Structure 1
Amino acid sequence: MAVLGGLLLLLALLLLLAAGLYCCYVRRVHAAYDHIPSAPRESFLLGHLPIFWKMMKKQEFLHDLFLQWSKKYGPIIRVNAFHRVSILILSPEGVKEFLMSPEYPKDRLIYGRIFNLFGVSYLIGVMETFNEKAEELMEKLEEMADGETEFSMLTMMSRVTLDVIAKVAFGLELNALRDDRTPFPHAVTMIMKGMTEMRIPFVKYMPGKQKMIKEVQESVRLLRRVGKECIEKRREAIQSEKEMPTDILTQILKGDALEETRDDENILDNFITFFVAGHETTANQLAFTVMALSQHPEIMERVQAEVDEVLGAKRDIEYEDLGKLKYLSQVLKESMRLYPPVPGTVRWTGKETVIEGVRIPANTTLLFSTYVMGRMDRYFKDPLSFNPDRFSKDAPKPYYSYFPFSLGPRSCIGQVFAQMEAKVVMAKLLQRFEFQLVPGQSFKLLDTGTLRPLDGVMCKLKPRSSPKGFKV
């Protein structure tokens, strides 16, 4: 017993020594960053984490807190979590310095080939799929367009964009719009939720999170299984020298063929990335746009007039039509300013830098938020008002304060694709229907890896007769 007691005492002393050394290390890290403005830490070790955890529990939006901090502490803000210190950059000069830098390129083999894929001829070619799937959405909405049926616009947009990306990128016909039992929409939602929550240190040890983590793992397994089947079938077709669709999957496999060793895990990772990101962001953007237009009938009337003028009674929207829908483009851009589906991005700086007169140490994680900058009156006049004229041809261009698709060499390669898809779906919706929001919604925002409306944008629809004579 005496020996055991001695061992326990020794272990306790070692633990105390380790804790003391760790606290000294944390204090040393703090000393390197404490000159940077920030809200008071709630805990020496936890830093600002308790604040974030409380907000997550209440389903409050973290970027709104950063917006409040920007008004009090300025455009360069410190964020503490244990020994980790990140710096939130809300300065156009900082955005330009880090997001436009060529020091952070994407994987040239994969992204270079896929970037080339998104050329004009390819984009014109996918208009057929955009029209096809958007028409399927219109048919589904017609069934509910009685002025009484309530439904989630976010759900409908998620399903149509899922059908689009599955077919265009991977040759899959998911039929998510018609099949209410399909597991894919829920799987994507869970993966995004997991990506968001796992950014918080030690979240998997928090009470009540085990069920969520299990669902996330099952969702990842589902998409990897489907991805593996798609890859195997496409490889067999390539080996048989059959005619291949020029899609993302083909480009990923061609890139892999150039490598000396086959890396199926990396290919599956890319498959899931494009599958998830390729529809979630566009769906959220469309839902937010419906929400904003429903709250501003004068803007709705103006954009519908443009759609009537450009499209008339046409069912199939042509590539050339998209360029004529200028005000609709402005509406979509303004929607992304207030409600960017991807609210921010992250970079790492390996060298000491000075931004806005504030010294940022080397080897620091940098956070950028287009959501916060888009709502700062420092960069946008009356920032909380929905005003598409901010993006008119003659309006001054935002100076590195608007980056819903990021900027520079790591900007989203599919942004033109996504905006074409959004325009087709939105134009058809405006052409066919009058829509209004169900009363009583909170209009709160939820960060699930992408920014989405908490209540799902509950709507009611009625058929619309346009001045050009189109009637559903």
Structure 2
Amino acid sequence: MERTAAPHRRHMPPTELLPVQVPLHRAPLGIWGSFRAGRRNLLELIPEIATHAPILSGRTGKRWHMVMEPGALRHILRDRLEDYPKSEVTKLVLGPAIGKGMFVAEGADWHWQRRTAAPVFTHRNVSALAPVMSAAAEAAAARLGQATGQNVDLFEEMVTATFEVISDVTFSGGAGFDRTEVHRAIERYIGGTARVSLLDVIGAPAWLPRPGRMLTGGGIRDTKKLADAAIKARRQSGASNPPDLLDLLMEGADPETGQQMSNEELRDNLLTFIVAGHETTALTLAWALYLCAFDPAVQAAARAEAQSVLQGRTATAQDVGALPLTRQIVDETLRLYPPAAFLSRTARAKDRLLGREVQPGDTILLPIYALHRHHALWPDPNRFDPSRFAAPRAVPRFQYLPFGDGPRICIGMSFALQEAVIVLATLLSRFRFTALPGRAPKPVLILTLRPEGGVCLRVDRA
């Protein structure tokens, strides 16, 4: 592996004064070591030097390049988008669940789906969906109110809350499908199908079956059948009132061609929103509550802000702009624990990145976790400091990528941020969260960056 010299390190506070992080490896892993690390925790594939170097190159089966420099990331994600499609591993992992939805589609197929779906996520439509988020926040607060003085797994609680939101805004309350069964299927999928295979590490062709994924696809197939039935029923019954995401997508058309989504395309994109939409926001909220418990002073300031604005009621879309500290906590949480902490692309054309030759077929790794903790880009990068985002426009683009960037930036970004602020402000205004000794969560990346062991905190009335 080629290495770039690391800059002089600044003095860092002792580890116990920092929120939990993953110890990154300092020696080459090799093929077998990479496989074991990837099965255990994808973050362990990132070398420690990645938080100091702009680019690393090597070979583990296939040639790969790990990129941490904002200019090169702009080149990959925006300037040469067509030359760096989603990697084959990404498609192998996500394809069974989301088919040919826009998250994995490429070229013209992606362009028309994106154009069709973009109006669904306008500020007006996202704001119109906020009452569902407020209702989920109120329900979460009611559940926690029954558990005051107790230790609660806030990750599990946030998964429940955000799944209520995504099922309500996707299928108007979940009529026509079993919420519990869909949620279980997604859990089984992420826990098994999404894990790295040795065949992925050595660069085996996509047509070669990955046994682990063959064994865990039943739940997803059942979920697709449920979604198909719900779409068919909606076509027969007509739009709900107010319209939900399914209605908006069914009504949408490509402004350039007039093409509308087929039932299969509707299903694949709705499953994309369900799989990604609730899991990522639940993780953001769970990690944010962990960080607030880790730093009681920040929690107290955010509580004072929320109580001043909300005056005992549940947060709404209209309150989001009046909760700057809450939003800063969300942004800093996404820096330290980005749900999509490791992205990959496959080079389609010959190129050069920061002086390194790139050949067609090379794997381009984008370790967002390392980018967000890079010592050349962030002062004291492992420290929890929401004030970094007090002036968010001052943070240079492409050094902060919790939602990606360029034309393929996450289409649901504004939806997720609005939901996170509404739920977090509502909970902080009513409860105090305290860390439990010896119960810090461990960041583990399978498909998303999850807290192994949950986020167990003591919950008390504020």
TM normalised by structure 2 equals 0.79
Alpha carbons of structure 1 residues 41 and 132: separation in structure 2 relative to 1, 3 Å:
closer
| 2:71 matches 1:93 | yes
Cα distance 1:68–1:359, how it changes in 2: closer, same or farther (>3 A)?
same
**Cα 1:463–1:228 shift into 2, 3 Å:** same
Match of 1:112 among 111, 115, 120: 115
How far apart, in 1, do the equivalents of 2:143 and 2:392 lie? 39
Matched-pair contact (CA < 8 Å) for 1:344–1:404: no
The one of 244, 247, 263 equivalent to 2:244 is: 247
**CA contact under 8 A between 1:78 and 1:87: conserved in structure 2?**
yes
Equivalent residue number for residue 295 of structure 1: 294
Q: Which deviates the most, 89-98 or 184-193?
A: 184-193
Aligned to 2:137: 134
The 3-state SS of whatever aligns with 2:287 is: helix
Q: How many angstroms does 1:438 deviate by?
A: 2.6
For the residues of structure 1 that align with 2:454 and 2:396, how far apart are their CA atoms? Answer: 29
Q: Distance in 2 between matches of 1:277 and 1:318?
A: 23
Residue 39 of structure 1 contacts residue 69 of structure 1 at CA under 8 Å; is this kept in 2?
yes
- Sort the Cα spacing of 1:262 and 1:156 in 2 relative to 1 into closer, same or farther, 3 A: closer
CA change 1:138–1:51 in 2 (3 A) is: same
- Is 1:438–1:459's contact at 8 Å kept on the other side of the alignment? yes
**Partner SS for 1:151:** strand
| Cα distance, 1:335–1:67 mapped onto 2, change above 3 Å | farther
Shift in Å, 1:39? 8.5
2:457 corresponds to which of 436, 448, 459: 459
Deviations 1:350-390 (A, max 9, x none): 33322222222244331112211111111101001000111
1:285 aligned residue: 284
Aligned to 2:159: 158
1:49 matched to 2:46: no
Deviations along 1:28-62, one digit per CA (max 9) or x if unpaired, are: xxxxxx878798866xxxxx3312233246x3x33
Match of 1:77, SS?
strand
Contact 1:347 1:366 in 2 (8 A): yes
Offset at 1:184? 3.2
User: Residue 100 of structure 1: SS of its match in structure 2?
Assistant: helix
Question: Structure 1: any 5+ residue segments left out of the alignment?
Answer: 1-33, 43-47, 465-472
What residue in structure 2 maps to residue 63 of structure 1? 43
- Which residue in 1 is equivalent to 2:444? 446
Match of 1:86, SS? strand
* Structure 1 residue 269, shift from structure 2 partner: 2.3
SS in 2 for 1:409: helix
Counterpart in 1 of 2:233?
233
2:139 and 2:304 mapped to 1: Cα distance? 24
Q: Give the superposed CA RMSD.
A: 3.2
- Counterpart residue type for residue 56 of structure 2: I
Structure 2 residue corresponding to 1:435, chosen from 404, 409, 433: 433
Contact kept in structure 1, 2:309 and 2:323, CA below 8 Å: yes
Q: CA deviation at 1:259?
A: 8.5
Is the alpha carbon distance of 1:461 and 1:226 closer, same or farther for their aligned partners in structure 2, counting shifts above 3 Å? same
Q: Encode CA deviations 1:122-151: one digit per residue, 9 max, x unaligned.
A: 122112111111111111111111x1x222
**2:273: which partner in 1?**
274
Counterpart mapping for 1:143-292 below 5 A: 143-145=146-148, 147=149, 149-173=150-174, 182-198=180-196, 200-201=198-199, 214=215, 216-238=216-238, 245-254=242-251, 263-292=262-291
Alpha-carbon distance in 1 for matches of 2:370, 2:73: 13
Shift of 1:232: 0.9
Amino acid in structure 2 at the alignment position of 1:68: E
User: 1:71: how far off?
Assistant: 5.5
Provide closer, same or farther for how the CA distance between residues 442 and 294 of structure 1 changes in structure 2, counting only shifts above 3 A: closer
Structure-to-structure mapping, 1:15-26, within 5 angstroms = none
Select between 183-192 and 86-95 the one with higher mean Cα deviation: 183-192
Report the Cα distance in structure 2 between the residues aligned to 1:249 and 1:377, rounded to whole angstroms.
43
Check whether the contact 1:67–1:376 (CA below 8 A) recurs between aligned residues. Answer: no
Whole-Å separation in 2 of the counterparts to 1:202 and 1:301: 46
* Correspondent of 2:55 among 76, 80, 87: 76
Whole-angstrom CA distance in 1 between matches of 2:168 and 2:353 = 45
Gap regions ≥5 residues in structure 2: 5-24, 83-106, 205-209
* Distance in structure 2 (CA, Å) of the matches to 1:35 and 1:427: 46
Distance 1:398 1:443, change over 3 A: farther
Q: Match of 1:156, as an amino acid?
A: E
Counterpart in the other structure of 2:364: 366
Secondary structure (helix, strand or coil) at the match of 2:330 reads: helix
In structure 2, the residue corresponding to 1:80 is in which secondary structure?
strand
1:247 maps to a residue whose letter is D
User: Percent of counterpart pairs with the same letter?
Assistant: 25
- Aligned pair 1:335/2:333, yes or no? yes
The count of residues paired between Structure 1 and Structure 2 equals 408
Q: How does 1:2-21 map to 2 (within 5 A)?
A: none
**Residues 194-214 of structure 1: CA distance to partner in whole angstroms, max 9, x if unpaired?**
4531554269x9xxx978853
Change (3 A) 1:387 1:395: farther
CA contact (8 A) 1:446 1:453 kept: yes
Deviations 1:2-21 (A, max 9, x none): xxxxxxxxxxxxxxxxxxxx
Cα-to-partner distance string for 1:162-196 (whole Å, 9 max, x where unaligned):
110011122233899xx9x9333332222223453
Q: For 1:261 and 1:248, how far apart are their aligned partners in 2?
A: 15
Larger radius of gyration: 1
Tell me the secondary structure at the aligned position of residue 53 of structure 1. Answer: helix
Hey, what's the Cα distance between the residues in 2 that align with 1:272 and 1:339? 24
Q: Report the alpha carbon displacement of residue 437 of structure 1 after superposing the two structures with TM.
A: 2.3
After TM superposition, give the deviation of residue 99 of structure 1 in Å: 1.1
Residues 1:123 and 1:175: Cα distance change in structure 2 (over 3 Å): same
- Secondary structure of the equivalent of 2:400? coil
Q: Displacement, 1:399? A: 4.5
Q: Distance in 1 between matches of 2:383 and 2:260?
A: 53
TM-score scaled by length of structure 1: 0.78
